[in-house]
Amino acid sequence: MPEVSRFFGIVIKMFFNDHNPPHFHAFYGEDVVLVTITDLSIFAGSLPPRALGLVIEWATIYRQELLDNWYQARDHQPLDKIEPLR
C-alpha cells in the first residue's frame, strides 16, 4: 500500500485496485480510519479527535490530488506524493 503523505505522526496510504467508494487510509499509531474522498466522511475505523481533525483539514486542501491518486491507483499507475499538512 503506497504512502502518499505523512505529517504529525499520521500516515496516509492508498491501495492499488481498492474497492469503491474512492477513499484513503489514515494511520495514527495503532488506529486506522478510512475516509471517502468525495465528501470526507468516515466509513470505517476511527482516530483520536485531534488526529482526525488534522486528517480532514489536510484532505480538504488536497481533495483533488487525492482523487487523482485514486484513479491512478485503479489504473495501477504510480501514485504522486502529496504535500503534508504544515
Task: Give the HSE-up count for residue 26: Cα atoms under 13 Å, Cβ half-sphere.
Answer: 31
Q: How confident is the model at residue 18 (pLDDT cuts 50, 70, 90)?
A: confident
Q: How far is CA 73 from the centre of its chain?
A: 12
Summarize pLDDT for 56-75 with one digit per residue, the tens: 999 999 999 999 999 999 99
Q: What is the pTM of this model?
A: 0.94
pLDDT, residue 55, reads 98
User: What is the C-alpha to C-alpha distance for residues 7 and 71, in angstroms, rounded to an integer?
Assistant: 23
pLDDT at 1 over 80: no
Q: Given 3-state DSSP classes, what are the helix, strand and coil percentages for the chain, each rounded to the nearest 5?
A: 30, 30, 40
Mean pLDDT across 26-42: 97
User: What is the C-alpha to C-alpha distance for residues 24 and 70, in angstroms, rounded to an integer?
Assistant: 8
